[in-house]
Structure 1
Amino acid sequence: MDISHDSQDSPPHEPSPTGPNPASGSAPASYGGQTMTDVAPSNEDDGVDETRMHRDRLARTRRMLREHQLPAALLFDPLNIRYALTPGPFMVFNMHSTFRWALVPAESEPVLWEYPHAMHITASEWDGDLRPAHGWTFLGSGSNSAEDAAAFASEIVAELAKRDLLTERIGTDRLESAGHLALSEAGVRIVDAQPALERARAVKTRDELTAIRANVAACDQAIGDMLRILRPGVTENELWGTIVGNALATGSEWCETRLLSSGPRTNPWMQSATARAVRDGELVAFDTDLVGEHGYLTDVSRTYLCGDHRASDEQRRLYQTAYEFLQTCIPEFRPGVSFEDLGHRLGPLFPPEFQPQRYPYIAHGTGLVDEYPVVNFTRHHEGELEAGMVLSVESYVGSVGGHEGVKLEEQLVVGHDGPELLSTAPFDQRLLA
């Protein structure tokens, strides 16, 4: 399969010339005869021009707001605020508790209302219109929540009026009931902004691609560290802790899940790591779901055989089925191919025996987290692949009632001449033999 590597001087949405960053280091991780060379930890000098990245992302946000006929978006989701403007403090906490928000007009400068006790942090990273956010969630406001929400809505109404947007449709992404009710009662015409934001985030800028490649390289190193301790008697938690701990040590921010399982816990999929000790000859499967530097997700999956026990015929059958489906799908991810066409052609190739427990998607977008677009087995979405999209192609193979299952997944960039695979994490050659 030919892998395209576009010039660094190409437009922002195109892949840059290099894939995962090789570097020398300690003894390489080897599994089943395939070696993965250590990669250098990511650092501040990773080639990402943050000023340009923020500028380009805001430009894409405004473009999509215009295409969706939204004069402005009032954003609360910390990932959307990060994309359009700047990261904020306590990202994980902010995902379930609203304490900052941003107004992003399509034709004028944005405003960011920040958590008052963290304004000094944001001010050091962003030079836009920064104001203190006066919260209204029940956590901080209690019985005063409705009153505080009304004050929040009044401030938004005043800003909209100043910009001649008060009678316009205003998009929002994620908003608790108290805030939504207050805005509605104040006369703000609220509509859904998420489609515009998802479409903006779907095609990556050159700096986003640079960040993603660096994060995948750091994640590959963490997988190599895990492989070095994968032996009978190690627990699932120890294996998962090694991946996450080493990734955090090189600058990663958080993990979306803790999907790692062994032996009979690999079937069905979606089981989190536990204190279970892995036995000789068992399969260990995991999904990284790791958010790295600059907030970009590495989403790859591997399955390995633990110990020196010979792989069983059934383990090899499962592994090779998952691997072959993945390798069949990957070359099809080219610009201009519709999501519906991909689903129609690739879905039927997945063996009927494993359909009941298959992964929900053939592929899904990756960026700040899992995101648009999705290639489904059924109920296909409108749209088509574009150069600069980043997706993870999925394959889970396990029979209903079977003893074990296999999870494999590759993350790729859609290039003009074909897909660019991002990870160098090895496949287990003993299971492919």
Structure 2
Amino acid sequence: MTVEQILRAQAAAANRGIDALLISPGADLRYLTGYDALPLERLTCLVIPVGAEPFLVVPELEEPAARAGIALAPDVELVVWKETADPFDVICRRLPSGLARIAVDDHMWADRVLTFARLLADVRLIAAGPVMTELRMRKTSREVDALRAAGAAIDSVHRQMGLWLRAGRTEREVARDVADAIASAGHTRADFVIIGSGPNSASPHHEASDRVISAGEPIVVDISGTMPDGYRSDCTRTYSIGEPPADHAAYFAVLHAAQTAQVNAVRPGITAGDLDAVGCDIISAAGYGPNFVHRTGHGIGLDVHEPPYIMAGSDLVIEPGMAFSIEPGIYLPGRHGARIEDIVICTTTGGLPVNAVTHDLQIL
């Protein structure tokens, strides 16, 4: 699959008038080669000239890991540099002559971009983001299967939440148990564990604290992990230790209706802005518009947050293969909040949620 992806990258670059791509460690490199390289001080860089063979420059001590990592990309030549060599010079000498525009990945360290700019003074350096977004935003059937497996794994953790969410425990204690469960469910690691209880549930990106959970409190649980193949899970559900406050139950019903409507509205041809508006309109009509403070969702794949972004004003047209979260929330600062999140994949006929755990307010 990675051979095909490199060919697609060359074609996408050529269509944008780009002569070569320089890709450093990160999700783009893993997408193109299968190699999950560590971002170290020694340069690792995939070079993809348009119309020439790609090559991967790696430090000698990383050679074994690189050879294993690019097993699915046999057409990528491995160029190993020794400790005293200059890897930037190695790359510049091997680049075809006459290049005018080279794109570097969006996350390449600034000192490396500046070094390439100095050594390639006659070449215009630009961002490779548009090229890589064009490729990664539309998932292949293999990637869809990977996201569905990740969704099933994180669902299994949510189904066990009653084992850990109890009055008298701190958010941090619960978070440690949940992180262990994410790994036990088949992920290689937990990416984040948000446990927001009581007033902390009104903070969308709250980190677990030493706050003690009490009875009658809503709790927002937003969890994510990375699977062995690099694809991510991300799912949010709202819980309550005993019956929640009456006003919380009232606006949770509004949130549930909004999230359901948005999932049902996913289809090819709808814009990201219009999809965002489906939920916003329901929440606003119920009087909670100012309490929905973030976009509806984000794309997901080898990064937990990547294009497309489902947000107001976006004219991006949703297409089959795009995968993203649908996660409206309602937050009453200082009191409590709620969020429901599914990962949804756009198919030719509509939206395919990868999360199946109940969306209802779960009273423990």
Normalising to structure 2: TM-score of the pair?
0.88
Q: Following superposition of structure 1 onto structure 2, how do residues 26-41 of structure 1 map, counting pairs within 5 Å? A: none
- Contiguous gaps of at least 5 residues in structure 2: none
Provide the C-alpha distance between the structure 2 equivalents of 1:396 and 1:199, rounded to a whole number of angstroms: 29
Provide the C-alpha distance between the structure 2 equivalents of 1:235 and 1:218, rounded to a whole number of angstroms: 25
- Which secondary structure state, in structure 1, belongs to the residue aligned with residue 125 of structure 2? strand
Deviations 1:320-363 (A, max 9, x none): 12211111111221112223443455544432754444242122
Higher relative contact order (CA 8 A, sep 6+): 1
Query: Closer, same or farther in 2 for the Cα pair 1:383/1:310, shift >3 Å?
Result: closer
The residue number in structure 2 matching 1:183 is 116
Deviations 1:193-251 (A, max 9, x none): 11111121001111111111111111111222333222212222232223321222344
CA contact (8 A) 1:359 1:394 kept: no
Shift of residue 110 of structure 1? 1.6
Instruction: Write the letter of the residue equivalent to 1:227.
Output: G
**Identity over aligned pairs, percent:** 21
Asked if 1:121 is matched to 2:121, the reply is no
Instruction: Write the letter of the residue equivalent to 1:225.
Output: Q
- Which secondary structure state, in structure 2, belongs to the residue aligned with residue 427 of structure 1? coil
Provide the C-alpha distance between the structure 1 equivalents of 2:8 and 2:294, rounded to a whole number of angstroms: 29
Provide the C-alpha distance between the structure 2 equivalents of 1:340 and 1:80, rounded to a whole number of angstroms: 26
The root-mean-square deviation of aligned C-alpha atoms, in Å, is: 2.4
Instruction: Write the letter of the residue equivalent to 2:116.
Output: L
Provide the C-alpha distance between the structure 1 equivalents of 2:190 and 2:289, rounded to a whole number of angstroms: 28
Provide the C-alpha distance between the structure 2 equivalents of 1:226 and 1:159, rounded to a whole number of angstroms: 54
- Which secondary structure state, in structure 2, belongs to the residue aligned with residue 190 of structure 1? strand
Provide the C-alpha distance between the structure 2 equivalents of 1:420 and 1:368, rounded to a whole number of angstroms: 19
Asked if 1:361 is matched to 2:298, the reply is no
Which consecutive aligned stretches of 4+ in structure 1 deviate over 6 angstroms post-superposition?
Answer: none
The residue number in structure 1 matching 2:172 is 237
The residue number in structure 2 matching 1:415 is 347
Asked if 1:200 is matched to 2:135, the reply is yes
Instruction: Write the letter of the residue equivalent to 2:10.
Output: R
CA contact (8 A) 1:311 1:430 kept: no
Query: Closer, same or farther in 2 for the Cα pair 1:232/1:133, shift >3 Å?
Result: farther
- Contiguous gaps of at least 5 residues in structure 1: 1-51, 136-140, 142-147
User: How many equivalent pairs are there?
Assistant: 354
Deviations 1:123-143 (A, max 9, x none): 1242331123578xxxxx9xx
Query: Closer, same or farther in 2 for the Cα pair 1:271/1:343, shift >3 Å?
Result: closer
Asked if 1:227 is matched to 2:175, the reply is no
Instruction: Write the letter of the residue equivalent to 1:74.
Output: L
CA contact (8 A) 1:268 1:357 kept: no
Of residues 32, 35, 41 in structure 2, which corresponds to 1:87? Answer: 35
Deviations 1:42-83 (A, max 9, x none): xxxxxxxxxx3x234334433322332222210124111001
Query: Closer, same or farther in 2 for the Cα pair 1:100/1:123, shift >3 Å?
Result: same
Of residues 2, 5, 14 in structure 2, which corresponds to 1:66? Answer: 14
Instruction: Write the letter of the residue equivalent to 2:68.
Output: S
Provide the C-alpha distance between the structure 2 equivalents of 1:358 and 1:97, rounded to a whole number of angstroms: 41
Higher mean C-alpha displacement, 205-214 vs 242-251: 242-251
